[in-house]
Every structure is written in C-alpha cells, then in structure tokens.
Structure 1
Amino acid sequence: MNDAFQITFGLLGGLAIFIFGMNMMSESLQKAAGEKMKKILGILTVNPVMGVLAGTIATAVMQSSSATTVMVIGFVSAGLMTLKQGISVILGANIGTTMTAQLLAFNISDYIFVIIFVGFIVSFVFKSEKIKSIGQTIFAFGLLFEGIQIMSSVMKPLAESPVFINMIDHVSGIPVLGVLVGTLMTLVVQSSSATIAVLQNFAAQAGPDGVSSIIGLEGAIPVLLGDNIGTTITALLACIGQSRDAKRTALAHCTFNITGAFLFIWFVKPYAHFIQAISTKGPEVEVIARQIANAHTIFNITMTLIWLPLIWLLVKIVVKILPYKEKNSKQKDVPIFLDPRLISQPAAAMEMVAREILRCSGMVEQMIHRLNHAIERQDLRRVDSILRQAVVVRKLYDNIVSYLSSLFSSGSMTEEQATQTAGMMYILSDIERADALCTEATESLQSILEKKHKLSPEAVEDLCRGLQIIEDMYRNVLEVIRTGNGEDARKIVHKKDNVLDLTLKLRKNHMKRVKQGACDSEMTSDFTRILHSFDRIGNSCANIADAALTGVSFESVLK
C-alpha cells in the first residue's frame, strides 16, 4: 500500500511540477515575445500557406498551442481574421506544438539543476524585464525536466509489476482502446504536452527483458492519436459564447485531429516501422522518446499537407455542421472585441481593447453629429435618439473599464504593456467625458424644445457652427489616437483656445439677440450650458492630443 501511495503521488507530483513549469515557460515566453507573435499572426495570414507558417512559428515560440488557438478564436470572433485564415493558423499550431515533445526527447538529466540555477540567477539578478522573462523561461524549462525525472523514477516499479504489464498488453493489442486512453488523459489534464511527456517517459521504461519498451512504439502511437483528439477540448471551451465563425474554427481543430486519428489508426504497424526507420537507432528504451516525438511531428505535418489544399472543404464541413443563422441585431452596449480568455495574453488583449475603445469613441462621434442635426431641425425625436445612444456608450464604457481592470489584476503584463494600458484608460476617460458633455448639451437642447422655446435662425447657425468645429476636432483626435501623429496632435491642442474664443463670441451673440427680442431670455441658462459643453469637449480633445504628444496612442498596439 505504501508503494502504491508513493507511485501515485510521485506521478501526480511530477506531473504538477511539469505542468507548472510548462505554464510558467509559456507565460514567460509570451511576455518576452507575445507582441512579436501577435504581429506575426497579423502579417502572415494573407494566404493559407503563410497562415500555417504563422501558426507554427507562434506555437513553437510560445510553447503553447492553446495560447495560439485561443488568440485565433478571439481574432475570428472579433472579425479580425476570416474563418479560412483562422483554420490555416490552427493547422500550423498543430505542427508547432510538436516542438515540445521534440525538446522532451533530449536526455539532459545531468544538467537539470544547472539549468534551474542559471534561470534563477538570470531572473533574480537582472533588472530588465525582458531578460527576467528569459531567465524565468530557462528556470521553467529546468522545472519541466525535473517533473519528467520525478515521473520517470516512480514509473520504474510499475514496469516490474506483472499485473500492470498484463494490463498494458491488452491496451497495446487494441489500438482503439489506446486512443480512448490518450483522449481521456488529455481531457483530464488539459494539456497534450503533459500527457505526451507522460507517454514518452512511460514508454522509456524497460519491460521484463530489460531492453524493450514496456509499451513499444506500436502501443504508444494510438495513445498519441488520442492525445491529439483530447487537446481539442481547449479550443471547444474557448469558443463558448463566441461568434459562429469562432465556433467553426474550434470545430475545424477537432475535425483535423479526429480525421487524422481515424486515418492513422488503420496503419499503426507500418507507421511505427516507418518512424523507427527514420529515427535514431539504439536500444528501444533509449530511443523511443524520440520516436514518439517524431511520430507526433510527422502525424501533424502529414495531416496539414492533406488538409491545406482542402481548407475550402474544411470550411464547407464546419459551416454545414454549424450553419448560418438569421442575423439578429447585436446589442450595441455588448463589447464586440473584448474576450476574457485573452486576458492571459495581454499583447492580443490590448489590441482588442484599443479596437473596442475606437468603436466606443465612434459612437460618441455619431452623437455629436446627430446633435448638429437635432439643433438644425429642432427635432425632439433626434434628441431622444442621442440620449438613448448615450446610455449605450456608458454601458460599453463600464464594460471596457471592467476588462482593463481584469487585465491589470491578471499580473500577465510587462511594465511597458502596463504603461500602454494606463494610457488607454486615460484616453477612455476623456472619451467618456466627451460622451457625458454631449449628453448634457443634448439635455439642455431638450429642455429648450420641451419648454416650447424657438431657437432663432441666427442661434441655430451659431450653435451648428460651433458644434461643427467640435465635431471636426473630435474626428481629428480619433485619427491621432490611431496614428500617434505629433503634428496633428499639436494642431488640435492649438485649436483649444480658438474654441474658447468662439464660445465667448457665441455667448455675446446670444445676449444681443435676447436684448433685441430675437431669443427668449428664459432659455439663456440652457443655451449657455450647451456652449459650455462645447468648450469642455474641446478641452477633452486637447487632453487626448496632449497625451498623444507624450507617446500615448494606439499606434503600437494596432500594428
């Protein structure tokens, strides 16, 4: 009983250290290279071949197919990638994830503690955040192998147990059972890399003859196929609550691995012979980890080559399974771009936040434009429409702030990303202020119209002239947010004084009209509040332009 206890918790403890090391390595690599990987995904998806290359590079560098898959599903859901592009990247991610098994096939047991120590020193001594991330990656890499060593040491007694050997013989003789075991293992652990690592270590245990693997390559391949099916659960979970195309992307991931397993299950024996022929030669227990890694890589490359020219067919299949629904009008106050699953990948999350802020600011621009028409036509229905949109903007603002707070509290951002995110929050606060001020001006107009006061043609002309300047200023500042253009930002800052001069002039004009009896004196309070709102919207525009001059913009985030 004591031996069973030690074996069980030795395996669980080793697996826990391995998964912790794997996650830490992936997080550290994302901090060091996440921005570059996001750009690679954006640039290299112009055609399916480049999409596969992008998915392969991103996953190999970040050491996480789940990270790539979740990012792609987020982009497809937001409409930043087409379904075809997303599927091509997923195919590449399946190749990239095999690099983990290739790394694990190296025997570096004599250097594990050296690697852990070097990683610790680098992350502890150096102040640069990028170098710290590299140090943490090295440290996590060592932990990952230490977890494997622990699992390997506790598996040795299992290899000597007649009961266990008999059970393995049954599994090895029934490939479908091996696929089922691999699928269930990955569903439970939620990491194909972890289950493949366990498989490599288990297969490296010698059987009764002391030379042959306890399971052999023919017994390991079906389990490996099951691992590939089980890993698709991450994509399925990531697409819950997402758009139809995002769900189709996840379904394509499942189709890729399930069809691959169904195809290869009939050729386990010849496939095993082929892998043995192209892999390192030597005693089976010493080379089987590399053989499993090679079987994993070649399986994914082969299936990618089969499906790459047939992506159009894969698209048709997933669309047939998940057909298009009648389009419902989506609530405007529901974020389109924000995906909670991307919070652990700040480079992608920040791009989504930037796009959502630009969407929100576009709504405020519409409000300002509609207010101009409402003044011109003195139309209460248009006023009501603007006030309804103001409620939508406020709800959307609350959603964005909540998302940004979650991003800050996640602890996954670098210092530079945290600074950029703080800048986004600053811009967002001024956009929300512009919304509130436009709402105030609209409510003042509503008060004038409901009291049956009639704006004179001269008053309408003055208000529309002032609002047109504000609208142009706001539109220009939105462009500055996108581009970070310093010259345009300076022009907007200089316009602030012009707006103040204009509103003072318009106040004088109003008082003249009141004196002449052209305008009712009772609407003076509401009229001046409208002008005051114009002035303060101009200040908000100048604030955003000032921020752009200090480097706060979405230019780097949206690249």
Structure 2
Amino acid sequence: MNYGFTDILTLLGALGLFLYGMKVMSDSLMEAAGDRMRNILASMTSNRVFAVFTGFVITAAIQSSSATTLMVVSFVNASLLTLTEAVGVILGANIGTTVTAWLITLLGFKVSMSAIALPVVALGFLLTFSKNIKTKHWGNFIVGFAVLFIGLQFLKDAVPNIQDSPEVLSWLQNYTDKGFWSVLIFLCIGTVLTIIIQSSSATMALTLVMCHEGWIPFDMAAAMVLGENIGTTITANLAALVANYNAKRAARAHLISQVLGVIWMLALFYPFLNLIDYITQNEGVSAFDSPLAIPVALSAFHTAFNMTNMLVLIGFVPLIVKIVERAVPYKEMPEPAVDVAKYLSKASMRYPQTAIKALIDESKRLYEGPVFKIVAHVLNIHRTDIKSGEKIKKLVKSSTGIVDIDVNEIYYKKVKHIYSEIIAYATRAQTKFSLTEEKMNDINKIKVANRKMVEIIKDADALNENMIAYAKTDNSDMHREYNRLRQRITKTLRRIYLANIDKSSDKHIKKLERIRKAAEEEEDVLASGTLNMLLQEKRITSEMASSLSIDSHLVKNIIKNLVAVAELLYVQSDTLLESFILEDDLQEAVAE
C-alpha cells in the first residue's frame, strides 16, 4: 500500500477540520443558548426520568456528551444537582451523543453535503455581521455545522478505498481473525483513540468512514463503539481531579455506568449484533457482507446499546450512587489555622449558576457557623440549647458560668478571610459574566448580607464585656435587664432557626417577616422608660445606665441584622436562583 507520511498528515488534517467544525458548532450553540440549557439542567432533574430526558435533549442539541458531563460535574460540585440526578443526566447524555452518528450516517453518506457546504458557510458568515449577539452566535453555529461536513468529506477522501488498496485488508486481517480477542483489541483501540482525540463523536466519524471504505468489518466497528463509550468518560474524570468529592463521585458514576454497559454487552455481543443487522437490513443486504450497509447498522447499534443500557441501569442508580460513595469517601480536611472558603472553587466559576450557588452556600456556612457561634457564646448559651424546645426564659436563667471569649480571635480565624474571599468572588462573577442589572443587584445583596454578618460580630464583641460583667453583678436590676437582652437575641436566633427548617416558601417568608416586624417594634430601655425609672429610683448608677443604654441599642442592631441576613440568604437567594431558571423563558415570551 502506497500510503506515505503526507497521506497520514492529510488524514489528521481532515480529522482536525472535522473536530474544529464540531467545536465551533458546539461553542456557538453554548454561547447562544447555553445559559438556557444550564437552567434546564438545574431545574428539570427532579426525578430519574426527567434527568435522563434532560441529558438526552442537551447533548443532542450541543452534539457533545463531554460538554454535558462537564456541566454535570460542575453542577454537582456546586450542589445544584444531587449525585442521583447526575447519574440520570449522564445516562441521557449517552443516548444524546448517538444523534451525531445518525447525522453523519444520513447526511454524510446518504447526501452530498459537501456540495452545499460552501453556500451554507456563506450564509452563516453573513449572519456573523449582525449587530444582534445571538444572531452572530447562530451564524457561527451554521459555519461550524458546514465545516464539520467539509471535514467529513476530506476524511472520506483521505482514507484509501479498499478496492484500490487491497493490502489494507490483509494487514488488518492479523487483528480481525482472533475471535473474541479481536473484539477486545478493537474495544481497546476505540477507547485509546477517544482518549487521544478527546471526542467520541470524532472517533465515531472515523470509525464510520473506515467501515464505509471497507477497512474494518461490522463486528470490529461495534467493538470500537463500545470502547468509545468508555473513552469519553475520561474527560469528566480529568475535570473532576480539581473538584470536590461530590464532583469526583459524579465522574466515577459516568465511568461505572459505561463500564457496566460494556460488560453486559460483551456477554451478548454477537446475538445483539445479529438482531441489529436483521432489523437494519435493506433489500436483504447484511452489514456483515456489505461495507455500504455498515454505517446505518453501526448507528443503530450505537443508539440501541445506549438506550438499552439506560433502561437496564436506571433502576440501579441508587446502587451506583452507593458504589461511588464508597469508592470516593468524604475526607475531613485538617483544620487550617485560618478558615478558608469551602465552596468558592474555580470549578464553580465556570457558569453563572454555579458561581451564584457557591456564593450563597459559602455565605450560609458563615452565618450558620462562626456568626451563630460568636453570638451564642456572647450570650453564654450553647447552640444546641438555642435549637432545642426548652423555654427561653428558663434557658437564660439556667445558663451559668459565663465564659470570657475572644470574639476578635474567632473573627480573624473563622470569618475575616472567608468574608474577603466572598466579596472578591462575587465581584469576579459580576465582571466575568454578562448579567442583567437585576442579577448584578442580587449579587450585591449577597455582599450586603456578608457585611451585615461582620456588623453582627462587631456589635457582639462590643456587647461581650458587659454581658460577662453584669451576669456576675450583685445588682439584681442590672442582672435582670441583661438577662432580658440575652432573651431577646436568643428568641430571635431560635425563630430564625425554626423558620429555616420549614422550607415551605410562603410560610418561610411570612415567619421571617414576623420576626423582622417584632424586632422593629420592640422598644429599647430608653424608649420604654425603663432606664429613667431605674435611675430615678436610684436602683442603678449613671455608669450602669450608660452601659445599659448602649448595649440595648447594640442588641436591637444585632437582632435587625440577624433577621436581614436570614431574609437575604434564605428567601431572596432562593428567588435569585429561580430567576436564573425563569429569565430566559420570560425574555422569549416578551420577544414573541
């Protein structure tokens, strides 16, 4: 066979052109409709069937199971998807990727796309001059679609025809006549090729062309397809290396689902192939006998395998989840000298939805952790007691042995660094993504919530010294008044905790509104006249009165800020995430 170095470069160039066309097409579609697709992914995975359907639709649209899987890994990393939902999406994505094979088979081999590719490029190129950004992206999508089929035509031309080069078959015969070992060899070839090319669609195109030109028989091509299904999982596993344990689990679930599918398919390999061949025969022409019949049969095999694999595994999703949870256990990281952000990762900054979710989760972690802890310690009450059902008055009276804590030390170790990371991350998200003014303001609200948390800590620090002093005082009036201040904050913390347990949207909002109104209406010692009465009756000194007046005001500020943060993080943050999901639908309705 006279097939030299130049011919090999031509083959690689044709494959590169095909890959470039696919990348332009996929990237342009993601730019034009990617936010909408991510919204669909975040909102339509409530059960396994919906998850499978969502994975299929998105992958069929963007023509890349790797892109879908990367989204899934990012969303699991940001807790927008559960592991169970992720497995369902991945099973659907495996079916969606088979659409590429059908496009190549029906248009690349049945229709002369190369004849109309250049006019299509011209049309797409004209659209790229549009002032409308989305129209520009759609123009690039059309150009990419045409370039893909131009690359496919070059690929077909670069692969030598078996009739002109019969020695190719004799060379391959060494690997195709070893029985079941040949199946395993070509399965490995398909896996390695997909890992190298980083695109199962491109490997599938190459396989289809080799079949069409008579290089490899139907059964070996089917074995390569099985290998491609395993090879495509490597991209997600590589992406998950720098992600959290949940994202690693999602990537491993992808690998396990594909490996399990290949195992059961190998057990039924030839009976399954014979069935596909029988179904796809046209005028009695078998894919085992005619290279021209292989593309349709191979595409049918690809689709049937992934659909059957989905139907087989969808009932075992909980088992797959358990397997990956054991394979990738949760590891407690050693506690650093200064606390660092847990959710604000580079992976979460990939999409606006995941960035927003990371900001909300990190802010909630700060609120429920260090902020709650500092306020509880200043009150000298355990957090578990605040969350309990014990009467607050009794709880405050029974808490003895005031512990002197260094609020500033806790702030610098547990809060300050995370607070600065949240502000920087939020600003980066606002700069990186094209967000509406409303969404920009919503992110600013997250910043405000974090600033208010710092204000709570500063006020609690200012309150701490007097709380200790007057808890031990012999003056029963000051002791009683400071206990009342402790009761007010404790009552607010408990109400917020109970309101956050009840995630029923309407009840949740109403409860927090009632807490806020109660905080606003409650009078401090000056407004109520308590301070004047205690001074006039000489039951407290003027120095005591000054402390009580200032501290009463600090308590009111702490309560108002606690409620404000709860509303911003537990009500408005949920609305913010929902707005990401609904906004595209609203914009389209207005456009229509």
Q: What interval of TM-score do these two structures reach, taking the shorter chain for normalisation? A: 0.7 to 0.9
**Following superposition of structure 1 onto structure 2, how do residues 207-286 of structure 1 map, counting pairs within 5 Å?**
213-240=214-241, 246-265=247-266, 271-279=272-280, 281=282
**Following superposition of structure 1 onto structure 2, how do residues 34-433 of structure 1 map, counting pairs within 5 Å?**
34-41=38-45, 43=46, 45=47, 48-74=48-74, 83-107=83-107, 108-122=113-127, 124-125=129-130, 127=132, 129=134, 134-156=138-160, 166-173=170-177, 174-204=182-212, 206=213, 213-240=214-241, 246-265=247-266, 271-279=272-280, 281=282, 288-311=294-317, 313-315=319-321, 317-318=323-324, 322=327, 333=339, 337-338=343-344, 340-363=346-369, 366-367=372-373, 370=376, 373-374=379-380, 381=403, 383-384=405-406, 388=410, 391-404=413-426, 407-408=429-430, 413-416=433-436, 419-420=438-439, 422-433=440-451
1:460 to 465, 478, 482: 482
Between the aligned partners of 1:514 and 1:390, the Cα distance in structure 2 is: 42
Moved more, 540-549 or 215-224: 540-549
Contact 1:360 1:393 in 2 (8 A): yes
Between the aligned partners of 1:399 and 1:97, the Cα distance in structure 2 is: 39
Between the aligned partners of 2:14 and 2:541, the Cα distance in structure 1 is: 85
Q: How big is each residue's C-alpha offset from its partner over 1:294-337, in whole Å with a ceiling of 9 and x where there is no partner? A: 221111112223333444554565466x2857878988956555
Contact 2:186 2:220 in 1 (8 A): yes
Contact 1:183 1:227 in 2 (8 A): yes
Aligned to 2:110: none
Q: Percent identity?
A: 23
The answer to whether structure 1 residue 556 and structure 2 residue 579 are counterparts is yes
Moved more, 358-367 or 534-543: 534-543
In the TM superposition, what is the alpha-carbon distance from 1:16 to its structure 2 partner?
4.3
Aligned to 2:461: 443
Q: How big is each residue's C-alpha offset from its partner over 1:76-105, in whole Å with a ceiling of 9 and x where there is no partner? A: 566665544443332222222222222232
Question: How many residues align structurally?
Answer: 541
AA aligned to 2:482 is V
Contact 1:337 1:356 in 2 (8 A): yes
Q: How big is each residue's C-alpha offset from its partner over 1:438-479, in whole Å with a ceiling of 9 and x where there is no partner? A: 221222234446889967235415644764697699889989
The answer to whether structure 1 residue 509 and structure 2 residue 531 are counterparts is yes
Q: How big is each residue's C-alpha offset from its partner over 1:347-394, in whole Å with a ceiling of 9 and x where there is no partner? A: 344344434433434447625752662496697637447962674343
1:18 to 18, 21, 25: 21
Contact 2:65 2:96 in 1 (8 A): yes
User: Structure 1 residues 447, 78: CA separation in 2 closer, same or farther (over 3 Å shift)?
Assistant: same
AA aligned to 2:453 is D
1:434 to 452, 471, 484: 452
In the TM superposition, what is the alpha-carbon distance from 1:183 to its structure 2 partner?
0.9
Larger Rg: 2
User: Structure 1 residues 162, 343: CA separation in 2 closer, same or farther (over 3 Å shift)?
Assistant: farther
TM-score under structure 2 normalisation? Answer: 0.72
Between the aligned partners of 2:548 and 2:159, the Cα distance in structure 1 is: 81
TM-score under structure 1 normalisation? Answer: 0.75
Structure 1 gaps of 5+ residues are 207-212
User: Structure 1 residues 515, 471: CA separation in 2 closer, same or farther (over 3 Å shift)?
Assistant: farther
In the TM superposition, what is the alpha-carbon distance from 1:40 to its structure 2 partner?
1.0
Aligned to 1:209: none
Contact 1:441 1:530 in 2 (8 A): no
Between the aligned partners of 2:504 and 2:442, the Cα distance in structure 1 is: 12
In the TM superposition, what is the alpha-carbon distance from 1:17 to its structure 2 partner?
1.1
Contact 2:155 2:209 in 1 (8 A): yes
Aligned to 2:390: none
Cα RMSD after superposing both structures: 4.9
Between the aligned partners of 1:290 and 1:414, the Cα distance in structure 2 is: 43
* Secondary structure of 2:241's aligned partner: coil
* Secondary structure of 1:87's aligned partner: helix
Between the aligned partners of 1:384 and 1:149, the Cα distance in structure 2 is: 73
User: Structure 1 residues 233, 177: CA separation in 2 closer, same or farther (over 3 Å shift)?
Assistant: same
